[in-house]
């Protein structure tokens, strides 16, 4: 990872186009926008400290996303799967509750207090 942080990140034309859309898109999540901006600044050859200053992030954050992009390219900018408690409700049960919530109480025969 230190080697990737020391040299500029080379981008293919398609990657640069996609990163620009991510970095400046109005509907892009903030965290993806920040990651794309970090990679674009890195491609210009800026140092990690300078990138951190420009995007208002910590140097460790810049180092992480710059290194992950160098290793995995665009898929590396997505969040990794985290471990945790499994969901309590199945997808079917969640869909049933949502459908019930969208119906009027008179249609289901259930009092409003229920």
Domain boundaries, the chain: 2-77
Q: Where do we find the tokens 């210009």? A: 44
pLDDT reported for residue 113? 65
pTM value surpassing 0.75:
no
Write the CA distances from 68 to 9, 29, 32, 36, 50, integer angstroms.
11, 18, 13, 12, 18
Q: 75, 57 in Cβ contact below 8 A? A: no
pLDDT per residue rounded down to tens, the chain (114 residues):
444 444 557 888 888 999 999 999 888 899 999 999 999 999 999 999 999 999 999 999 999 999 999 999 988 898 888 888 888 899 999 999 898 888 887 777 777 765
Q: Which residues of 61-88 are buried (b: 16+ CB within 10 A; e: fewer)?
A: bbbebbbbbbeeebeebeeeeeeeeeee
pLDDT reported for residue 100? 83
pLDDT reported for residue 12? 86
């Amino acid at each position: 990872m230190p080697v990737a942080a020391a040299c500029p990140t080379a981008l293919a034309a398609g990657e640069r186009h996609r990163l620009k859309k991510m970095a400046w898109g109005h509907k892009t999540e903030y965290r993806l926008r920040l990651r794309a901006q970090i990679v674009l600044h890195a491609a210009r050859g800026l140092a990690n400290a300078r990138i951190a200053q420009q995007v208002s992030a910590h140097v460790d954050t810049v180092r992480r996303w710059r290194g992950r992009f160098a290793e995995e390219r665009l898929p590396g900018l997505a969040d990794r799967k985290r471990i945790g408690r499994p969901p309590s409700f199945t997808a079917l049960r969640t869909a049933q509750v949502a459908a019930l919530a969208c119906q009027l109480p008179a249609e289901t025969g259930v009092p409003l207090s229920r």
